[in-house]
Structure 1
Amino acid sequence: MTRRLACLVAAGTAVLAVSSPPAVAHVTVHSAEAVQGAFAEIAFRVPTESPTASTVKLKVAFPATQLVESVVVQPHPGWTYQLTTVPNDQSAASSHQHGTPKQVVSEIEWTTVDSGSGGVKPGEYGSFVLTAGPLPSVDELTFKVVQTYSDGAIARWIDVGAQTEFPAPVLSIASSKTRPVAAISSAGEASTLVWWALAASALALVLALGSTAVALYSVRRKE
């Protein structure tokens, strides 16, 4: 009886495993150095969820109210890109701490060179990297992303909120006030090293003088 029950449970678990939908991988954005007022390398990680079609185009829209003045794109093999800038809307100038830029980044679009056999294939992901800045004085930047597949299907990652079906990628930005702390820490470590070096030098000098005194005393005793 116990063996039969175990077999039924195992079979039921297998059926559930087969019938359950696979985990959905979202488009995300990452940076290890995003600080307010500075430039940072930013990577958009794009998985291909389709089992049959490849990702052939990626459009990233920058926030309209948190200004990013400059973007430099890292080349992505097999892909071209188009960067779009627009005249700065003066109503959004207050969110930027480096004055009022005349042009701001509106969007960037990557397109595969070979839409037939190129692109990000099923079961794979691609990282699209750029350097952007100066980053605005906000805690987060929300990007709206449109992902196009080789079969014409489109995934719009534009919903606000992590629990939505197609959440827009959100980049966390550290406060610039954290920078002096690191600088002070580094300065303190450097100062400690200097004191240790001075102490070691002083000790070496004392030992050298002591050795010289002992040698002179020995010579005088022999005389």
Structure 2
Amino acid sequence: MSLSTHLLVHGGRRVALVAAAALTATLTLASPAAAHAEVEADHPQALAQNVTLTFVSEAESADAGFRELRVVLPKGIAPEDITLDEAPKGWKLKATGDGYTVAGPALKAGVDAEHSIKVRQLPDEKELAFKTVETYSDGEVSRWIELPTADKEPEQPAPVLKLKAAAPGATPVATSPSPSPTQSAAAPTPSAEASDADASPAAEDSAADEDDGISSGVVIGVIVVVLLLLGGGAWWLARRRAASSES
């Protein structure tokens, strides 16, 4: 092989290696980061009712399993608007101030945590973010709560659900049932306080009458006793004077 041919072949290999490395780097940068917490819906549409949302948290620890997931609900979904549909055996849902937790016996290491909730109605938005905090049995915590910004993609993105536009004529439902007219118009049962207040004037009048009766009786009795004493004293005095005169 001539020197020129050798140089040509060697140079071609170097170019191929550099090109392969560049292609690998490009693909790596272009590929999205692997999601470790995801959410899906059976009816991903704004203002849709009775929608089932399914959450999947991918296990990262080789030594511990999930024991609790905490989800922050987006604006437009209140904790009282959801119910637990499915979860790992023994796991229970508990409402929090801004969302809910679902927890129970720790899963085996390497097992993904999946649960579903039923939502009364989705809000009228284009997308919904469900910030999720995962807790393992050894106390390790993973926070998938970051939202994308204009200049960079988050390293630990929160699960995001994209929604279709609301169906024509769809409207938000009431946040909570209103009391029925019958219940509102019904006469309330008197409370203990109201009964006591209503009964107080009569009780006071009765007590006052009773006190007056007792006071009058006492005064009359005292007067009678005094008169008797005075009468007895006068009789005794008159008799004594008569006895003195006779002697």
Aligned to 1:129: 116
Q: How does 1:115-194 map to 2 (within 5 A)?
A: 115=106, 118-119=107-108, 121-122=109-110, 124-161=111-148, 163-177=153-167
- Cα distance, 1:76–1:129 mapped onto 2, change above 3 Å: same
1:34 has 2:44 as partner: yes
Q: Does the Cα contact within 8 Å between 1:139 and 1:173 map onto a contact in 2?
A: yes
- Secondary structure at the aligned position of 1:74 is classed as strand
TM-superposed CA distance for 1:34, in Å, is 2.1
Q: Which of structure 1's runs of 4+ aligned residues deviate more than 4 A?
A: none
Which amino acid in the other structure matches residue 43 of structure 2?
Answer: E
TM-score (normalised: structure 2): 0.49
Q: Which has the higher contact order (CA 8 A, sep 6+)?
A: 1
- Secondary structure at the aligned position of 1:174 is classed as coil
Return the alpha-carbon distance in structure 2 between the equivalents of residues 79 and 25 of structure 1. Answer: 26
TM-superposed CA distance for 1:179, in Å, is 8.6
Decide which structure has greater helix share: 2
Taking only aligned residues, the RMSD between alpha carbons, in angstroms, comes to 3.4
Return the alpha-carbon distance in structure 1 between the equivalents of residues 35 and 94 of structure 2. Answer: 26
Give CA-to-partner distance per residue, 1:176-202, whole Å, 9 cap, x none.
23699xxxxxxxxxxxxxxxxxxxxxx
Q: Does the Cα contact within 8 Å between 1:45 and 1:125 map onto a contact in 2?
A: yes
How many aligned positions are there?
A: 147
Which amino acid in the other structure matches residue 109 of structure 1?
Answer: T
Give CA-to-partner distance per residue, 1:90-118, whole Å, 9 cap, x none.
xxxxxxxxxxxxxxxx31211122x3xx3
Which amino acid in the other structure matches residue 164 of structure 2?
Answer: A
Runs of at least 5 residues in structure 1 that lack an aligned partner in the other structure: 14-22, 87-105, 181-223
Identity, % of aligned positions: 25
Q: Does the Cα contact within 8 Å between 1:79 and 1:110 map onto a contact in 2?
A: no
1:71 has 2:58 as partner: no
- Cα distance, 1:25–1:50 mapped onto 2, change above 3 Å: farther
Give CA-to-partner distance per residue, 1:72-106, whole Å, 9 cap, x none.
212424232233265xxxxxxxxxxxxxxxxxxx3
Q: Does the Cα contact within 8 Å between 1:81 and 1:108 map onto a contact in 2?
A: no
Q: Does the Cα contact within 8 Å between 1:54 and 1:150 map onto a contact in 2?
A: yes
Q: Does the Cα contact within 8 Å between 2:88 and 2:113 map onto a contact in 1?
A: no
Aligned to 1:109: 101
Decide which structure has greater strand share: 1
Runs of at least 5 residues in structure 2 that lack an aligned partner in the other structure: 1-5, 22-32, 171-247
Aligned to 1:201: none
TM-score (normalised: structure 1): 0.54
TM-superposed CA distance for 1:31, in Å, is 0.9
Structure ID, larger Rg: 2
Return the alpha-carbon distance in structure 1 between the equivalents of residues 42 and 169 of structure 2. Answer: 14
TM-superposed CA distance for 1:30, in Å, is 0.6
- Secondary structure at the aligned position of 1:35 is classed as coil
